[in-house]
Structure 1
Amino acid sequence: MSRQYTLAEGQPQPSNSSSVQLRNGHGGGHVLLQDTQLIETLAHFSRERIPERVVHAKAAGAYGYFEATHDVSDLTDASFLNTIGKKTKVLLRVSTVGPERGSADTIRDVHGWGMKLYTDEGNLDWVFNNTAVFFIRDPIKFPSVNRAHKRHPRTNMPDADMFWDFHVGNPEGTHQLLHLFSDRGTPASIRHLNAYSGHTYTFTKSDGSFRYIKVHIKTRQGVKNLTAAEATRLAGTDPDHLVRDLFDAIEAKNYPQWDIFVQVLEPEQAEKFNINIFDMTKVWPHADVPLRPIGRLTLDTNPRNYFADIEQAAFSPSNMVPGWGPSADPMLQARMFAYPDAARYRLGVNYQQLPTNKAVVPVYVPTQRDGFMTFGDNYGDDPNYVNSMLRPTTFKKNVVQAATTLSEKHEKWTLEMANAFTTTVTPEDYVQATALWHVLGREEGHQDHLVENLADSIAGVTHAGLLQEVYKVFANVDKQLSARIQAAVEAKKKGQADKVNAIAGSSGTDKHAMHTK
C-alpha cells in the first residue's frame, strides 16, 4: 500500500526532502519560518534522545514465548504456569550494567536479564542477572556500587582505586567478584548465557500457602565464554558482538532456547536453613535445594524497531501476577521502588501505556490518570478517588481484596531475618567464594584466567595501602589465591615501570642525538 508524506498532524506534504526557500538565482536562498515541516523536522531531531538508563544502558533484545512444561499446581496458582503446554508472549532485554549505551558489549561486566511475560493476569517482569549472587545485600549501597564501577568524577575514566576501595570496604561481595573476573564475566554470546533471579521470591496459592523460590534459567545451547584477550579483540573489531550474534541467529531461524527451573523451600525449611535466605550474596546449594523444572523460553522474533520495542521497554521486579510474590529480601524490596521510579523519570509517568510495556489484559486504574502523554480516554468520567473498604464509592463498586499469604508467626521470623542485615562481615561470607575458587580449579586454565583478570584490574591501584587490603580480602577466600594475585600484580607493575623507563630513556637518547647534530 502506497503512503503519502504528511506532517505529524496529518497534513499532506509534497516532499520530505527539501525546505521552502526564497532563492536569489545564484544558488542561495532564504529559509522561511512558515515551513512547518522544516521546523518540526529540526525540533524533533533535537529531542529524539530520551534519558539513558543509569545502569543497563547497552542491550540486545528480542521477542519470544515462555512455555509451561511441568505441573507446578502444588506450588502456585499463577495462570501462566497452570497448564502444561501453555504459551505466554515474552520480551527479553539482555544488557551490560556499568558502561554507556555506545560501549562495547564484550567488556567485563555483569549482564542484566530483563524479561517481560505478557500473561493473561497482567505483566510479570523477571529482572535477573547472569550471576546467581550480587555485590551487596544492603540496598543503601546500591548507588555506590554502581558509581564505583563507573567513571571517576574528576578524570571521567574508570578508576581502579575507586573500584577496589569500594569492594575492600564491602567484602561481602567477594563471591560475586570471583564470578565477574572469571571467564563468566565475558560471555561469548547471549545465546550461551545462563540467568538467575538472585533474589528470593515466593510462589503463592489462594489457600494462603506459599513457598520460597529462586529461579534458574539454563541455556540449551551450552555455556560459552570468552577469554579476556578474545573479549578485548571483539571490543575493538565488533563492539556490538552480543547484539549482532543474537539478531543474526534469530534472523536465520536458529532460535535460542533456555530451560527454566526453580529451587523451592517450604517456610519451615527456610526457618531452619543454614544461611539467610534473603541474603543476595549467597546461593542455595543444589545438594540441599535441588532444581525443579517449570518451563522453557524460546526467542523467535527480532524487534521491528529497536527504540519502540527495546529502548522504551521498562522492567521492574514489582510487576507481579497472582501466584508470584516478593519476599523480605531487602535488595528486592528496594528495587521494587527504584526500577519503576527510574522508568517514570526516563519515559514519563504513563510509561505503562507504551505498546512495548502495555499489558495484554484489560487495565483499570482510575486513580492513576492524567500526566504527560496520556493515551486513550483517561477513564472518562469515572471517579478518580477511592472510599474506605467499608463503603465503596457510590459510582463504582468493583472492589477486590487481596488475600494475605503469610502467617503471623512466620512474619515475625521474616522480620527477624530481614533485620539481621548489618555491615558486619563474618568468615561465613567467604565460604561460598572459597567453594567457587575450588570449582574453577576443575576447569583447565580457569583459575589461571581468574588470577590474570583480577591482576589486570588490581594493577591499576595506585595506593599501596589499598593494595594490601585487596590482598587481605582474597586471602580470606584462599591464601594461595591471594599470593598468586599479588605475584601477578607485582609482575605487571614491574612491566609497566620498565616500559615507562624504556620510553623515557629512548626519548632522552633522541634528544641527545638531535642536540649533537
Structure 2
Amino acid sequence: MKKPAVMTTAAGVPIADNQNSLTAGPRGPVLMADYQLMEKMAHFNRERVPERVVHAKGAGAYGTFTVTKDITRYTCAKLFEKIGKQTEVFVRFSTVAGELGSADTVRDPRGFAVKFYTEEGNWDMTGNNTPVFFIRDPLKFSDFIHSQKRDPATGRRSATMQWDFWSLSPESLHQVTWLFGDRGIPASYRHMNGYSSHTFSLWNAKGERFWVKWHFKTQQGIRCFTEEEATRLAGENPDFHRQDLWDAIERGDCPKWTVYVQVMPEKEAETYYLNPFDLTKVWPHKDYPLQEVGVLELNRNPQNYFAEVEQAAFEPANLPPGMGASPDKMLQARLLSYPDAHRYRIGVNYAALPVNKPRCPVHTYHRDGHMRFDGNDGGAPNYQPNSFGGPVDDARYKEPPLKISGDADRYDHRAGNDDYTQAGNLYRLMSREERERLIGNIVAAMTGVPRAIQLRQIVHFFRADPEYGTGVASGLGIRMAEVPGIKAA
C-alpha cells in the first residue's frame, strides 16, 4: 500500500495527534489554545449552505415549563425560585444525520432542544433522545458525522463508512446499542424522552456547585416503530413526525414531559468511579436518583415554519445565573461551535430574531453586522467602559470558580476507559424479544460491510456481552473461531 501522507492543518502544519483534544488534565476542560480543534469545528460548520450540517430536519412548538418541586438548594436560577412558576419555552425536535428532505422515520438519534425564555436570559437545553453519544472527544465530531453522511465518491449513505468508524471507536458501542434497539426509531416526537446527555452544573446562593444531568420523561409513554413500520411510513408520509406533533397540538392533545435532574455534589466527582463528564456514560440511578423538577407542556404551533423552526438557534452556552457548564470535553467544544454555526448559517444577528430573542431586556455592545434589522441601538456608545451610562458588568452574577489541575496535553481518551460494561448492561436490561430485534437490526445494517470491519465490530459486541457478540456473528454467518481477539477479551 502507498504510504499515507502526513495530516496537516489548512496552513500545512503537520498534525501530531488527531484523536485527542488539548485539555487541562485528562478530564478536561478543553483549552482554547487548541487551534487544531477550533479549525476543524469552524470549517465543519461551513460545509453546507444554508441547511444545518446536523439536525437539519425537525419540527417545533411553543409551550410552558411549570415548576413542581423545590430545587433552590441546588440553584439560584430564578426560573426555579418557587413552585408553580411558569416559563415560556420553544422546543425543536429533529433527526441528526438526515438532510432537510429526509424521512422522519429513519433510524437515527433525535434532537431534543428546549429554549426557556427566562427573566434572566434564555436557557437552551440542547439534548437528544438518548442519554449518551457516540464519542467523548470533540476532535472526532466532524469525523464521526462525515462517516454518517454521504460517501464522497458515490454521494450515497454508506454502511461501510459508518461501521468502519464505529469499529475503530469502541467508545461508540453504548450509543450504537441504543440506536439499533427499539428506541432507535421513536413512533413520534411525543412518545420519546429527552436528555441533556452532557453533564451541566447548578450553583446556589451560597456559591455551592452541583453537577447535574437533565431528563425529560414523556407522559405519553414510550412508543417505537419497528424497522418494517418505519420503512413503510418513510414512503407513505416522509413528514410523519412533523404532522403528528402539529395535529396533536391543534386538536388539544398537548404533549407533556416530566422534568427530572440527577444531582452530584461537586466534590464527589473527584472520586466517583466513572468519569462524570464522559458523554458516553450514564450515571447509575442507584447512586444519583432522579429528582423531579417540573412539567414541560407544548401547546402552541408556530405560525411560520421558516421564521420559527428553521431559524431557531440553540446554544448550550445560554445559561442564566445559577446554571453553568462542566468540564465535559464535548460540551466545552459545543459552547463555541453552536454560536459559530448560527453566525454562518443565519447571520451574526441571529439572537435578535423573534424566535431566539429573549423575553427580558438585552443590553450588549454588539453593533452592525449582516442583516441588522432593528434600530442598532441608535447613537448609544458602542464600547465599554464608557462615561455615558452604557450597560456595565455586575460581579453579583459571577459563577463560583472551578478548580482544575493537570498539565496541558493531548490525553488519550481511550486509555484505561471501560467502553463495554454500560453497553453490556443496556443489552442485559432488554427483554429476549428486544435483544432479538436489536441483533436483527444490526445484522441487517452490517450485511454487505467488508468482513474485516464486521469482525472488528463483533469483538466490541462480544466484550459487552458474549451473547451479544455471538448473536451478531451468527446472523452474519461468521463462526466465533474466525473472530480475532475474543480469547484475550
TM bucket (normalised to shorter chain) is 0.7 to 0.9
What's 1:487 paired with?
A: 474
How far did residue 236 of structure 1 move? Answer: 1.1
Q: Secondary structure at the match of 1:476?
A: helix
Task: Answer yes or no: is the 8 Å Cα contact 2:384–2:392 preserved in 1.
Answer: no
The AA in structure 1 aligned to 2:435 is: Q
What's 2:105 paired with?
A: 106
The AA in structure 1 aligned to 2:369 is: G
Measured in 2, the distance between the counterparts of 1:65 and 1:427 equals 40
Q: Give the TM-score taking structure 2 as reference length.
A: 0.85
Alignment map for 1:298-377 (pairs within 5 Å) = 298-366=297-365, 368-377=366-375
Whether 1:456 and 2:449 are equivalent positions in the alignment is: no
What's 1:151 paired with?
A: 150
Measured in 2, the distance between the counterparts of 1:96 and 1:166 equals 20
Measured in 2, the distance between the counterparts of 1:246 and 1:385 equals 45
CA RMSD of aligned residues (A): 1.8
Query: Could you report, residue by residue, the CA deviation over 1:391-433 in whole angstroms, capped at 9, with x for unpaired residues?
Result: xx222364223455445xx613xx4599795242546221100
Measured in 2, the distance between the counterparts of 1:427 and 1:359 equals 41
Alignment map for 1:113-512 (pairs within 5 Å) = 113-366=112-365, 368-387=366-385, 393-396=386-389, 398-402=391-395, 403-407=397-401, 411-412=403-404, 415-416=405-406, 422-426=412-416, 428-440=418-430, 443-461=431-449, 463-490=450-477
How far did residue 208 of structure 1 move? Answer: 1.5
Query: Could you report, residue by residue, the CA deviation over 1:461-511 in whole angstroms, capped at 9, with x for unpaired residues?
Result: 0x22222111112111112211110111239xxxxxxxxxxxxxxxxxxxx
Task: Answer yes or no: is the 8 Å Cα contact 1:210–1:405 preserved in 2.
Answer: no
Q: Which segment drifts farther, 467-476 or 396-405?
A: 396-405
Q: Which segment drifts farther, 472-481 or 260-269?
A: 472-481
Task: Answer yes or no: is the 8 Å Cα contact 2:364–2:391 preserved in 1.
Answer: no
Measured in 2, the distance between the counterparts of 1:126 and 1:195 equals 10
Query: Could you report, residue by residue, the CA deviation over 1:268-316 in whole angstroms, capped at 9, with x for unpaired residues?
Result: 2222211001100000000000000111000111111111110111111
Measured in 2, the distance between the counterparts of 1:365 and 1:236 equals 48
Task: Answer yes or no: is the 8 Å Cα contact 1:59–1:93 preserved in 2.
Answer: yes
What's 2:24 paired with?
A: none
Query: Could you report, residue by residue, the CA deviation over 1:359-417 in whole angstroms, capped at 9, with x for unpaired residues?
Result: 11111112x11011112221222222224xxxxx222364223455445xx613xx459
Task: Answer yes or no: is the 8 Å Cα contact 2:93–2:110 preserved in 1.
Answer: yes
Measured in 1, the distance between the counterparts of 2:423 and 2:390 equals 55
Measured in 2, the distance between the counterparts of 1:386 and 1:58 equals 40
Task: Answer yes or no: is the 8 Å Cα contact 2:380–2:390 preserved in 1.
Answer: no
Please list every run of 5 or more consecutive structure 1 residues that lacks an aligned counterpart in the other structure. 1-48, 388-392, 492-517
* Structure that is richer in helix per residue: 1
What's 1:30 paired with?
A: none
Change (3 A) 1:466 1:50: closer
Q: Secondary structure at the match of 1:254?
A: coil
Question: Which of 1 and 2 has higher RCO (CA within 8 Å, sep 6+)?
Answer: 2
Task: Answer yes or no: is the 8 Å Cα contact 2:51–2:345 preserved in 1.
Answer: yes
The AA in structure 1 aligned to 2:462 is: A
Q: How many residues align?
A: 430
How far did residue 242 of structure 1 move? Answer: 0.9
Task: Answer yes or no: is the 8 Å Cα contact 1:209–1:405 preserved in 2.
Answer: no
The AA in structure 1 aligned to 2:420 is: Y
Task: Answer yes or no: is the 8 Å Cα contact 2:260–2:294 preserved in 1.
Answer: yes
Query: Could you report, residue by residue, the CA deviation over 1:104-140 in whole angstroms, capped at 9, with x for unpaired residues?
Result: 0100000001111111111110100000000000001
The AA in structure 1 aligned to 2:388 is: F
Query: Could you report, residue by residue, the CA deviation over 1:304-354 in whole angstroms, capped at 9, with x for unpaired residues?
Result: 111111011111101111111111111001001111111111100001111
The AA in structure 2 aligned to 1:344 is: R
Change (3 A) 1:76 1:212: same
Query: Could you report, residue by residue, the CA deviation over 1:203-262 in whole angstroms, capped at 9, with x for unpaired residues?
Result: 112332111100000000111111111111111111111111111111110011000000
The AA in structure 1 aligned to 2:114 is: M
Q: Which segment drifts farther, 54-63 or 397-406?
A: 397-406
Measured in 1, the distance between the counterparts of 2:455 and 2:166 equals 13
Query: Could you report, residue by residue, the CA deviation over 1:72-109 in whole angstroms, capped at 9, with x for unpaired residues?
Result: 11111111111111111111110000011111010000
What's 1:4 paired with?
A: none
